[in-house]
Structure 1
Amino acid sequence: MIALTGAKILTMCSEPLEKGTVLIRDGKIQAVGENLAIPSNYQVIDASGKVITPGIIDAHTHLGLYGESMDWAGEDVNEKSDPVTPGIHAIDAINPADVGLTDAYRGGVTAVMVAPGSANPIGGQCVVIKTKQKDTVEEMIVRKHAGLKIAFGENPKRVYGDHKKVPVTRMATAALIRETFHKALEYMKKQEEKDRTYNMGLEAIAKVLRKEMPLRAHAHRADDIVTAIRIAKEFDVDIIIEHATEGHLIADVLARENVPVIVGPTLITRSKMELKDKDMAAPAILYRHGVRFAMMSDHPVIPSCFLPVYAGLATRFGLPQEQALKIVTAEAARILGLADRVGSISPGLDADLVVWSGHPLQLSSRPELVIVDGLAEDVTQ
């Protein structure tokens, strides 16, 4: 049982508290406010002069799937043997001891969405985990079925076109996705039949069709974003657009369709054609149009541990500071379907908190204490 006292608290769900207190018990936030009575059996941590935020949430990574410094032996992000692999799941390749997860945790990132890569039109299932290292990935899971990864644009064309296999065009990418979803609809119709043959991949797609998890669509170019939305509407399924490099060019469409977006990675060069219209002002433009969005690192493309830095840079291009912090906390949790667990400092939520030396969006600030499920660790050592 812990009481954090004296800090400025950015709850992400109410007005900031200039000198507030957070009470933590049994891994949950018990209370937050000013002038709270502190039970005598609580460990008091004086955080005067510090800033407390919810744990940072990275809404799109490949942490644990790309083993850092392990070359091909630790690369398990893309199953390139088949363009349609909905039955595979990221949890079966995540290495809980990946140094990238440790770096993220020490950087104040307490939860991450881990997805298969974008080589395949249908790439596999995603998971949300906490970054505090455990012996098994099962102990880290927050949401096991966090989405089904699909991909449009250059990547599937390049990977399979090089091998003279489908898809070679954007048309074929969309057709493979549609065909597989139609197969899943037929599969679901036979669900009660005794002689039905179990199909792991179609079972995964059935979860999407039943709205038990969303599609997570890798799409950079505006027309690819629209194709992804078109397919989602055809099958009446939930969808989240990943990357959305040209999303700011069709922000009115995203707002009208009420489609959430995970933006980024922003701190990269225009290394391929799909990125030619990358714009650091994109988050501000999406915000002005009322688009729901969060921010990603796409680790290992850029390091997850510096996600607050990337959010901070968005303020230079017009995104309000409070919103910049929300897109890596409360908004990320909301889009991931986890607002009842993480992303805000509110009674009943998981006690995932960070004590910072200053405002987390300032370059000079650093995490000093990271708390996950109520367990605090000094990360300054």
Structure 2
Amino acid sequence: MIGTQRKRPVRRRRGLGRFGAGLIALSACAGLAPASERASEIVAGKVLQPDGTWRESAAVRLDRSGRIASVTDSDDQAPRGASAGAHVYRDAYLTPGLIELASQIGLAANASEQTSPDQMDLSAGAVFDPFDRDSIAALRAGITSAMIVPTPRAPLAGRASVVRTAPGEGGRADVVKLDSAGVFSVAPGVTNTLFGPTSRAGAMGMIRDAVGQARRGEGDAFIRAALGREAGCVVIGLTADDVFTILGPFELAGVVPTVVLREETLDLALAMGEEIAETGYRFIVGQFGLSDRPETLAGPGVLAGFGGVLGFAGGTSADDPDALRRGVALATRYGLDPAAARRALTSDAARIAGVADRLGSIERGRDADLVVWSHDPLRPDARVIAVYVEGRRVYAAETDAATIDGWDDRAGRRQQR
């Protein structure tokens, strides 16, 4: 759970083996292929549509800027792949790059606001490290972007940002949207006996005061701006009661924030009911695991059934790169519609992160951040075959399966050497 999860310190550019060395040398992402590996067309047996269903045998054509130019039916009779730049995966599944939400991929353990709890100064995007081993593992697991948030250790926790997990040009962090949302929290860990607040009630008071000042055009300029844009506010709670308490000031301001909740999602869904669809609530749920209770895993399906827009927090790390997909698959087993689950990983996740105009769907004009899978990514045996960022193949499982700290990912294996 965000707010209770302990994050180990980032090891910067250490222990990455040949994989990390290739990252730095090519000033792009791990396993980045040469410039000739930019695709002009990608053909796959199944292509994910924005509604979460599959389109049979389609060709995705890309322009020179790394965006999607068109999506058309593939001619099975034509010998595609003969032309330069055509990448053909006849029996594979093609999706947009997955997006993890409320993530701490690439953030150090101290990426939290502790000394100025009444100001929203800390920007997650400003401290993101694309060379962190968790970022590299996420890319290889098909997660091409993440909405990263500071660890919520203050009621005004900081500023979320959307980043790519692959480094950009020159090895710099590729920030898709800097300071995309303000993060507010009443989760455990926000109290501070030295700097305040010293109680949960005090934390709620800080949030109420900050939102109230912003409504009057006063206080923190970033919070004023966040209240004025869609998907500009994120609230984090531990329980359904936390969520109802923290929503009050935002309702007075006429703002519908994105709700982050792991436990009691079922209770929240049943309590809110039809209000979810009427007000357009967005939810970030998870991370989920095999030890979670059935009612916990059933919550996402009920939220989606009432019309909620879902995304998932996955807790992806180099030690557990498939955490995001596993959590979504578990929710599907307990009632979440498979098409809604795929949207929660892609198009709906992009909506929640505020980047749907660029990421999350295979449509004309979107960035060509794409992943080729052996099977539907909801299946536990699905493995990543290739990853593309802005049309460039940055990872190919068969040729770029170097090790990260001694771990080998080839053909789905995870064996310590």
**TM-score after normalising by structure 1:** 0.84
Partner of 1:34: 73
C-alpha deviation, 1:22, in angstroms: 1.2
Correspondent of 1:55 among 92, 97, 100: 97
Distance in 1 between residues matched to 2:173 and 2:111, nearest whole Å = 21
Q: How does 1:195-274 map to 2 (within 5 A)?
A: 202-211=220-229, 214-252=232-270, 253=272, 255=276, 256-267=278-289
Distance in 1 between residues matched to 2:237 and 2:321, nearest whole Å = 20
Residue 142 of structure 2 is aligned to residue 108 of structure 1: yes
C-alpha deviation, 1:339, in angstroms: 1.6
Distance 1:152 1:263, change over 3 A: same
Secondary structure of the 1:47 match is strand
Residue 375 of structure 2 is aligned to residue 358 of structure 1: yes
Distance in 1 between residues matched to 2:134 and 2:169, nearest whole Å = 16
Correspondent of 1:22 among 60, 67, 77: 60
Distance in 1 between residues matched to 2:236 and 2:87, nearest whole Å = 43
Distance in 2 between residues matched to 1:88 and 1:136, nearest whole Å = 25
Distance 1:208 1:238, change over 3 A: farther
Give the residue type in structure 1 aligned to 2:70: A
Residue 322 of structure 2 is aligned to residue 296 of structure 1: no
Partner of 1:122: 156
Q: How many pairs align?
A: 352
Distance 1:301 1:34, change over 3 A: closer
Give the residue type in structure 2 aligned to 1:5: V
Residue 113 of structure 2 is aligned to residue 79 of structure 1: yes
Partner of 2:338: 321
Farther off after superposition, 283-292 or 209-218? 209-218
Correspondent of 1:5 among 43, 46, 59: 43
Secondary structure of the 1:343 match is coil
Partner of 2:181: 147
Partner of 1:335: 352
Percent sequence identity over aligned pairs:
25
Distance 1:318 1:373, change over 3 A: same
Q: Contact 1:354 / 1:367 at 8 angstroms: preserved in 2? A: yes
Q: Contact 1:208 / 1:237 at 8 angstroms: preserved in 2? A: no
C-alpha deviation, 1:126, in angstroms: 0.8
Q: Contact 1:265 / 1:301 at 8 angstroms: preserved in 2? A: no
| Unmatched segments (≥5 aa) in structure 2 | 1-38, 402-417
Q: Contact 2:227 / 2:233 at 8 angstroms: preserved in 1? A: no
Q: Contact 1:61 / 1:300 at 8 angstroms: preserved in 2? A: no
Q: Contact 1:121 / 1:173 at 8 angstroms: preserved in 2? A: yes
Distance 1:182 1:320, change over 3 A: closer
C-alpha deviation, 1:148, in angstroms: 0.7
Secondary structure of the 1:50 match is strand
Partner of 1:178: 208
Q: Contact 2:288 / 2:330 at 8 angstroms: preserved in 1? A: no
C-alpha deviation, 1:240, in angstroms: 0.7
Q: Contact 2:59 / 2:71 at 8 angstroms: preserved in 1? A: yes
Give the residue type in structure 2 aligned to 1:54: P
Q: Contact 1:61 / 1:298 at 8 angstroms: preserved in 2? A: yes
Partner of 1:195: none
Distance 1:339 1:184, change over 3 A: closer
Give the residue type in structure 1 aligned to 2:343: K
Distance in 1 between residues matched to 2:319 and 2:214, nearest whole Å = 36
Q: Contact 2:231 / 2:258 at 8 angstroms: preserved in 1? A: no
Distance in 2 between residues matched to 1:117 and 1:301, nearest whole Å = 19
Distance in 1 between residues matched to 2:227 and 2:307, nearest whole Å = 27
Distance in 1 between residues matched to 2:103 and 2:93, nearest whole Å = 26
| Unmatched segments (≥5 aa) in structure 1 | 67-74, 190-200, 271-275
Give the residue type in structure 2 aligned to 1:49: D
Q: Contact 2:147 / 2:163 at 8 angstroms: preserved in 1? A: yes
Question: Cα RMSD over matched residues?
Answer: 2.7
Secondary structure of the 1:286 match is helix
**TM-score after normalising by structure 2:** 0.77
C-alpha deviation, 1:182, in angstroms: 3.7
C-alpha deviation, 1:245, in angstroms: 2.2
C-alpha deviation, 1:221, in angstroms: 0.7
Secondary structure of the 1:266 match is coil
